[in-house]
């Protein structure tokens, strides 16, 4: 299972050092939450920050757009160098069009489903998804408790994947992931865990990442 480090929890004043440390500590991906103060009651990162982070990052960067009207910003995030662009299912009016557009820009198309949204959200759209993110906490903040409903939803998404050759997405989980819930997530079919607080909570990033692996 891959570990994507959510930089929302890092020390922004030492961003370059934090990226270097996290890469040496064994993370597989860097996760950047983009927040607009509107879809969620918080602000985080920006297009410009993605571009700057890409200059120093050795790992692939996934941008998680926790913003309204994501369709207006896709090209700019692609230009900034994001490797994976994830949109929130509840922010997208025309998912097939938007996910296809992300792919046409040469990026992986991610689709995030909130804890209170049904897993069936993916039924009509799965052939267009490269990366399905099951949210295990409400978007907007790190350090929230893990919502275990995602386990059932991950199994559902994994079953769809097994039954349909056009369903080729990876399954990620985002929110409240700790070493305690990792085994259940893995068993349900998770490929990538997104982890913020549980990596950056102590100075031993390598030790913290090792617990997940
Ligand atoms: C929340 C973000 C998450 C967050 C996860 O809106 O999407 O990526 O950083 O952080 P933890 O692991 O602390 O829940
Ligand atoms: Zn996220």
| pLDDT digit string, tens, across residues 157-179 | 999 999 999 999 999 999 999 99
CA angle 144, 160, 32 (to 5 degrees): 35
Helices (H), 4-124: 15-24, 47-56, 74-80, 95-104
pLDDT-above-90 percentage for the chain:
100
- Confidence at residue 94, expressed as pLDDT on a 0 to 100 scale: 98
The residue to which tokens 């207006």 are assigned:
72
Catalytically annotated residues: 33, 174
Beta 43-44 vs 2-6: how paired, if at all? unpaired
CA nearest 201: which of 16, 2, 63, 6? Answer: 6
Distance of alpha carbon 3 from alpha carbon 27, whole angstroms = 5
* Residue 140 Cα: closest atom of ligand 1: 6
* Dihedral angle over CA of 120, 121, 127, 128, nearest 10: -170
Counting from 1 in the atom list of ligand 1, the atom nearest the Cα of 7 is 9
User: Any residues with CB less than 8 A from the CB of 50 and at least 6 apart, and which?
Assistant: 32, 34, 61, 63, 77, 80, 81, 82
Ligand 1 pocket, mutate which of 27, 65, 196 (most atoms under 8 A from CB):
196
Residue 17's pLDDT is what? 98
Residue 178, burial from CB neighbour count under 10 angstroms (0-12, 13-18, 19+): middle
Q: For residues 104 and 75, is the Cβ–Cβ distance under 8 A?
A: no
User: Per-residue pLDDT tens for 19-65?
Assistant: 999 999 999 999 999 999 999 999 999 999 999 999 999 999 999 99
Distance from the alpha carbon of residue 97 to the mean position of ligand 2, in angstroms? 22
């Amino acid at each position: 299972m891959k570990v994507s480090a959510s930089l929302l929890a890092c020390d922004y004043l030492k961003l370059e050092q934090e990226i270097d440390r996290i890469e040496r500590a064994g993370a597989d991906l860097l996760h950047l939450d983009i927040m607009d103060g509107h879809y969620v009651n918080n602000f985080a990162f920006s297009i410009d920050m993605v571009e700057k982070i890409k200059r120093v990052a050795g790992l692939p960067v996934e941008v998680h757009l926790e913003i309204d009207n994501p369709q207006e910003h896709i090209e700019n995030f692609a230009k900034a160098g994001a490797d994976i662009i994830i949109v929130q299912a509840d922010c997208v009016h025309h998912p097939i069009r938007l996910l296809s557009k992300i792919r046409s820009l040469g990026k992986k198309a991610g689709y995030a489903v909130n804890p209170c949204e049904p897993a069936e959200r993916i039924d009509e759209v799965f052939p267009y998804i490269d990366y399905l993110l099951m949210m295990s906490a409400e978007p907007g903040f790190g350090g929230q408790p893990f919502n275990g409903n995602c386990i059932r939803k991950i199994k559902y998404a994994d079953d769809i994947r097994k039954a349909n050759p056009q369903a080729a997405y990876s399954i990620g989980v985002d929110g409240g992931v700790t070493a305690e819930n990792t085994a259940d997530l893995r068993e349900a079919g998770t490929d990538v865990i997104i982890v913020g607080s549980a990596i950056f909570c102590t100075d031993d990033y390598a030790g913290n990442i090792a617990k997940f692996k």
